[in-house]
A and B are shown apart, each in its own frame.
Chain A
Amino acid sequence: MNDLTPTAEERAASLKGIGSTRKRVEDARFTQGKGNYVDDLKMEGMLFGDFVRSPYAHARVVSVDKEAALAVPGVVAVLTAEDLAPLNLHWMPTLAGDKQMVLADGKVLFQGQEVAFVVASDRYAAADAVELVEVEYEELEVVVDPFKAMAPDAPVLREDIADEKEGAHGPRRHHNHIFTWEQGDKDATEAVIAEADVVAEEMVYYHRTHPCPLETCGCVASMDKVNGKLTLWGTFQAPHAVRTVASLISGIAEHNIRVISPDIGGGFGNKVGVYPGYICSVVASIVTGKPVKWVEDRMENLMSTAFARDYWMQGKIAATKEGKITGLWCHTTADHGGFDACADPTKFPAGFMNICTGSYDIPVAYLAVDGVYTNKAPGGVAYRCSFRVTEAAYFIERMIEVLAIELNMDAAELRRINFIKADQFPYNSALGWEYDSGDYHTAWDKALNAVGYADLRKEQAARLEEFKAGKTRKLMGIGLTHFTEIVGAGPVKNCDILGLGMFDSCEIRIHPTGSAIARLGTISQGQGHATTFAQILASEIGIPADDITLEEGDTDTAPYGLGTYGSRSTPVAGAATAMAGRKIRAKAQMIAAYLLEVHDDDVEWDVDRFAVKGAPERFKTMKDIAFAAYNQAIPGIEPGLEAVSYYDPPNMTYPFGAYICVLDIDVDTGETDIRSFYALDDCGTRINPMIIEGQVHGGLTEALAIAMGQEIAYDDMGNIKTGTLMDFFVPTSWETPHYTTDHTTTPSPHHPIGAKGVGESPNVGGVPCFSNAVHDAFRPFGLRQSHMPHDHWRVWNIANSLGLHD
């Protein structure tokens, strides 16, 4: 060794492993328009499907006349529920244990519901024929309000189960009731509230919105009648689960189904579920023997495939007069639309809403959630969050603010005195979770110092005086949030979807020349898995990340996994990747010892090699070892260097963060100007800081959208009012503020590399932070709670109702 010999640090850096700000390998193709999405697929003889959709939110389907549509040149078939019924495919199971119409079976339950599926030789002919399918409807009374849906005399929405007293999640007490889910100790909580010094009570509504990925949902189904194999390309966030579900409901043996998720242009939960378009495309391909493509347009995406949120959360929070929280009570009315198509682990019909005690040490709590049917689109997916965690975070972070008002306390201080302390982890929450790790006080103090919190409050007070003196019409708001996420579903003992345990997987093959391919059960939709998982592996096995190919999404080649949503990829598949890497390393150690002619125990791992203990100049690199694995007969060791790991996480991971937003509000126009946004995230070990920063920016921008304008709104007749991007708010760069990102690092104690999820944290924490800032601006005038989205007129309306226009 001499001065030119790379040091261990230099060798580690050259691997571009964990901690490296490696550029995303995916971007070369994405930024050059070379991605390969479902709609890019072109196949010989491919047909196109298009839906006839209901203009009514609740109506009986009296008749469907296909004749004129079938006469359009190029039209091959028009499918209705009658055609699917003999195959028993006119209904399909949902991920939530309910069932959903594939095509309208006698009635429709939401505007935009699929009524008939036109199949034609090109999409123009299909669109022409859709216009010509004559459907006769008989309008029924519409219910869009979940509270009215539970009235004794409310119309029966789901006639198919009207008399069933038992649902997938226990007893039903009304014909429009889906389930009641209770957690915690009701009696103890109510007793605490009854005796508390202070109780703050508020209804917190988290409005209905939609993930609205850049690419809409779609698929191509191709049934090969010669070999009996069905190939299904689609925008699937969980391709293996789709394969299993497709097999179970179609009767096609699972080995004869190949599901492929190609490049996906964003998912955010919208692409977890199974949609009528997939079923109809498969049936149409089986019937015609030709590939059938179905891709929804933007309006169809917003009106029919999975929405998010729509939780009415009635809360009570009790505290001592010093501000120590003594109990939390919540009753949620969950509007699920016409079918319960939530994508949650089976045992969690309201997802992880029971993380609603947040970052606080709350001794006793109670949560009840009632799921209700209405005449709205089905869904209830985790839009850039773990299951219902953003609802939970919004609820507790609003309740904290309301309690601060009740106590006449600073909301930052109220949080500080109630945080779970670092020495309390692992912490068992009152609603049943074991928080794995956290250091909230450190993060909070760092955040408050970074923004100069005390000075901001002084400036705000000065601004308020100017406002009262008539010198300005702008108010300043300071939004605070400390959130705790729960991601990485999850331990198979309590997390499954349709009976499939929520483990995940990684399979690694090391090539003889020392490069590698790894395949995972997850599927990137923009998260950059090909970049980050290669980094995990680089650090584990000492092969440069650039020499590792990552492949996902093809069920014929990838190991079984539950897919990508709920920030589970890094906590679960990332762990599987590390564990598979360690299996590779274990075998490599034996090979290295053989090559170095020492005992296995006499070599030690050193970044990218095994070296003889005490003689670092005697070593074999991973590259040497890989070659030997394929070229030498080593006694007692099989040739080759491969490993697979199926990882069942022992616990969830609990990322957290401290966010602070400062904004100015023009009380006369309702316009808001985000002056600054500081986001401190703690996601444990940081695999790629640049990707984390990108994830945080993206999640915060979606949070901005939701908090400040984005909604799926219906009128009283169940007509969707926000069905285009003119009215459904997606921020452009113009509306997007500058973000300041920061971090602390509290590794997960149970994850192999200490990592937690991060992609969804900014949405979970961002929404309450923006909303709290708006509320905070009006706090001196008596505002307690005003529902999102805080668009111009609603903000104006706050000012108006507080008399600020008089």
Chain B
Amino acid sequence: MIPSSFEYHRPGDVAGAVALLSQLGEDARVIAGGHSLIPMMKLRMAALEHLVDLQDIDEMKGISVEAGRVRIGAMTTQHELLTSDVLAGAAPIVREASLQIADPQVRYMGTIGGNVANGDPGNDMPGLMQCLDATFTLQGPDGTRDVQARSFYEAAYMTDRADEEILTTISFDATDGGYAYEKQKRKIGDYATAAAAVLLTRDGGNCASASIAMTNLSDTPVWSEAAGAALVGTALDKAAVDAAVAAMLVDIDPTEDNRGPVAFKNHVAGVILDRAIARAWDRA
């Protein structure tokens, strides 16, 4: 449980960090909170020559809400997400989900940027960001570009981010309506057996819009467009919810692990989504 040796860099701005990545090439990795990368290094499953630490980059920190748009610097910790009243007002689902991430000690260090950029299917934030239809801003040697969370994830630990790019900012529209982040896990600190992020708006007695994303049930987060569509225009009667669950089950592709076999995970995914929809609807 001791990593191989590496060079440590601590740039003071994004441009400096990007320059380091361009110069050092694929032997370099950026580190944010380190809660995914450091264990991999200690297990020697991640071998790297250069570690570029982003913690001194102030321009990557902070939460703002302007004109209904939430912007979160990638180096903002999960603890800061939890304690931001501005964020809680603009998108309360983020606080609900953040409370389900690991434990307080991890949340003091773990960042939203590291959580979404690492591409770990177990992480909670990627699915949440897909549910929110968030935009990731990436900065590289050729400037910045925006990628939607819903098209960012390619496979486990594989994303649209190029090696020399840094994910600097996450932005999404403030939400209204109902929300819920429902997660089943074996214990505090565990990844989800199944988790569901649900945002709903109401128009009279009917559902006006719905966004549903699932976590740790495939090698990427799964935004289930069809599940959301199954709810829109309905009064969220049992048939509609069952249809949403059925649609979601088509989109996920869980694998067996110590949490249980596929049949169990599919069943639990359905139960969790059912509960998330019910709670979100209550709040809508």
Genuine A/B complex: yes
Interface of A toward B, CB cutoff 8 Å: 123-124, 127-128, 131, 297-299, 668-671, 709, 713, 721-722, 726-727, 729, 731-732, 734-735, 791-793, 796-797, 800, 805
Contact A805 B267 (CB under 8 A): yes
Interface size on B, residues (CB 8 A): 24
Given the complex of chains A and B, what is the CA–CA distance between A797 and B265 in angstroms? 11
> Do A796 and B188 form a contact, CB below 8 Å, given A124-B2, A298-B1, A713-B258?
no
Contact A792 B193 (CB under 8 A): yes
Say yes or no: is B189 at the interface (Cβ < 8 Å to chain A). Answer: yes
Contact A793 B260 (CB under 8 A): yes
Contact A792 B186 (CB under 8 A): yes
User: Chain B contacts of A123 at CB under 8 A?
Assistant: 2
Given the complex of chains A and B, what is the CA–CA distance between A791 and B272 in angstroms? 17
Say yes or no: is B268 at the interface (Cβ < 8 Å to chain A). Answer: yes
User: Chain A contacts of B1 at CB under 8 A?
Assistant: 297-299
Contact A668 B267 (CB under 8 A): yes
Ranked nearest first, the 5 interchain pairs of A and B with the lowest CB-CB distance are: A793-B260, A127-B2, A297-B1, A734-B188, A793-B264
Interface of B toward A, CB cutoff 8 Å: 1-2, 4-5, 44, 103, 184, 186-191, 193, 258-261, 263-264, 267-268, 271-272
Contact B184 A792 (CB under 8 A): yes
User: Chain A contacts of B4 at CB under 8 A?
Assistant: 127-128, 131
> Do A729 and B186 form a contact, CB below 8 Å, given A721-B258, A722-B258, A793-B259?
yes
Minimum CB–CB distance for A297 against chain B, Å = 4
Contact A669 B186 (CB under 8 A): no
Minimum CB–CB distance for A53 against chain B, Å = 13
Contact A796 B260 (CB under 8 A): yes
> Do A734 and B187 form a contact, CB below 8 Å, given A721-B258, A793-B260, A793-B261?
yes
Given the complex of chains A and B, what is the CA–CA distance between A671 and B268 in angstroms? 11
Contact A732 B259 (CB under 8 A): no
Given the complex of chains A and B, what is the CA–CA distance between A731 and B187 in angstroms? 7
For A299, give the chain B residue with the smallest CB separation: B1
> Do A797 and B264 form a contact, CB below 8 Å, given A124-B2, A124-B5, A297-B1?
yes
User: Chain A contacts of B261 at CB under 8 A?
Assistant: 793
Given the complex of chains A and B, what is the CA–CA distance between A805 and B267 in angstroms? 9
Contact A791 B271 (CB under 8 A): no
Q: Beyond the given A792-B264, A793-B261, please list 6 additional residue pairs across the A-B interface where CB-CB is below 8 A.
A: A127-B4, A297-B1, A669-B268, A791-B186, A792-B184, A805-B267
User: Chain B contacts of A793 at CB under 8 A?
Assistant: 193, 259-261, 264
Given the complex of chains A and B, what is the CA–CA distance between A721 and B260 in angstroms? 12
Given the complex of chains A and B, what is the CA–CA distance between A713 and B267 in angstroms? 24
Given the complex of chains A and B, what is the CA–CA distance between A124 and B1 in angstroms? 10
User: Chain B contacts of A128 at CB under 8 A?
Assistant: 4-5
Contact B260 A792 (CB under 8 A): yes
User: Chain B contacts of A299 at CB under 8 A?
Assistant: 1
16 A-B residue contacts at CB 8 Å?
A128-B5, A668-B268, A668-B271, A670-B264, A713-B258, A729-B187, A732-B187, A732-B188, A732-B189, A734-B187, A735-B187, A792-B264, A793-B193, A796-B260, A800-B263, A800-B267
Q: Total A-B residue pairs with C-beta atoms closer than 8 Å?
A: 65
Minimum CB–CB distance for B191 against chain A, Å = 8
> Do A796 and B186 form a contact, CB below 8 Å, given A124-B2, A721-B258?
no
Contact A796 B268 (CB under 8 A): yes
For A666, give the chain B residue with the smallest CB separation: B271
Given the complex of chains A and B, what is the CA–CA distance between A727 and B263 in angstroms? 20
Contact B2 A796 (CB under 8 A): no
User: Chain A contacts of B267 at CB under 8 A?
Assistant: 668, 796, 800, 805
Given the complex of chains A and B, what is the CA–CA distance between A722 and B261 in angstroms? 16
User: Chain A contacts of B190 at CB under 8 A?
Assistant: 726
User: Chain A contacts of B258 at CB under 8 A?
Assistant: 713, 721-722, 727
User: Chain B contacts of A669 at CB under 8 A?
Assistant: 184, 268, 271-272
Given the complex of chains A and B, what is the CA–CA distance between A238 and B1 in angstroms? 28
User: Chain A contacts of B5 at CB under 8 A?
Assistant: 124, 128
Minimum CB–CB distance for B266 against chain A, Å = 11
For B256, give the chain A residue with the smallest CB separation: A793
Contact B188 A735 (CB under 8 A): yes
For B187, give the chain A residue with the smallest CB separation: A735
User: Chain A contacts of B260 at CB under 8 A?
Assistant: 791-793, 796
Minimum CB–CB distance for A208 against chain B, Å = 14
Given the complex of chains A and B, what is the CA–CA distance between A793 and B193 in angstroms? 10
Given the complex of chains A and B, what is the CA–CA distance between A8 and B261 in angstroms? 67
For B4, give the chain A residue with the smallest CB separation: A128
Minimum CB–CB distance for A788 against chain B, Å = 15
For B189, give the chain A residue with the smallest CB separation: A732
Given the complex of chains A and B, what is the CA–CA distance between A142 and B136 in angstroms? 48
Given the complex of chains A and B, what is the CA–CA distance between A610 and B2 in angstroms? 62
Q: Which of B190, B258, B261 has the most CB of A within 10 A?
A: B258
Contact A796 B189 (CB under 8 A): no
User: Chain B contacts of A732 at CB under 8 A?
Assistant: 103, 187-189
Given the complex of chains A and B, what is the CA–CA distance between A721 and B257 in angstroms? 9
Given the complex of chains A and B, what is the CA–CA distance between A297 and B43 in angstroms? 11
Given the complex of chains A and B, what is the CA–CA distance between A800 and B263 in angstroms? 10
Minimum CB–CB distance for A279 against chain B, Å = 22
Contact B187 A671 (CB under 8 A): no
Given the complex of chains A and B, what is the CA–CA distance between A726 and B36 in angstroms? 13
For B258, give the chain A residue with the smallest CB separation: A727
User: Chain A contacts of B188 at CB under 8 A?
Assistant: 732, 734-735
Given the complex of chains A and B, what is the CA–CA distance between A713 and B260 in angstroms? 13
User: Chain B contacts of A734 at CB under 8 A?
Assistant: 187-188
User: Chain B contacts of A791 at CB under 8 A?
Assistant: 186, 260
Given the complex of chains A and B, what is the CA–CA distance between A503 and B190 in angstroms? 45
User: Chain B contacts of A124 at CB under 8 A?
Assistant: 2, 5
Given the complex of chains A and B, what is the CA–CA distance between A734 and B185 in angstroms? 12
Given the complex of chains A and B, what is the CA–CA distance between A797 and B264 in angstroms? 8
Given the complex of chains A and B, what is the CA–CA distance between A175 and B267 in angstroms? 45
Minimum CB–CB distance for A465 against chain B, Å = 23
User: Chain A contacts of B103 at CB under 8 A?
Assistant: 732
Minimum CB–CB distance for A262 against chain B, Å = 22
Minimum CB–CB distance for A52 against chain B, Å = 13
User: Chain B contacts of A721 at CB under 8 A?
Assistant: 258
For A671, give the chain B residue with the smallest CB separation: B184
Minimum CB–CB distance for A69 against chain B, Å = 14
Minimum CB–CB distance for B41 against chain A, Å = 12
Minimum CB–CB distance for B240 against chain A, Å = 19
Minimum CB–CB distance for B277 against chain A, Å = 15
Contact A792 B259 (CB under 8 A): yes
> Do A131 and B187 form a contact, CB below 8 Å, given A299-B1, A792-B260, A796-B267?
no
Minimum CB–CB distance for A359 against chain B, Å = 33
User: Chain B contacts of A298 at CB under 8 A?
Assistant: 1
Given the complex of chains A and B, what is the CA–CA distance between A731 and B184 in angstroms? 16
Minimum CB–CB distance for B249 against chain A, Å = 14
User: Chain B contacts of A671 at CB under 8 A?
Assistant: 184
User: Chain A contacts of B187 at CB under 8 A?
Assistant: 709, 729, 731-732, 734-735
> Do A131 and B259 form a contact, CB below 8 Å, given A124-B2, A732-B188, A797-B264?
no
User: Chain B contacts of A735 at CB under 8 A?
Assistant: 187-188
Minimum CB–CB distance for A606 against chain B, Å = 54
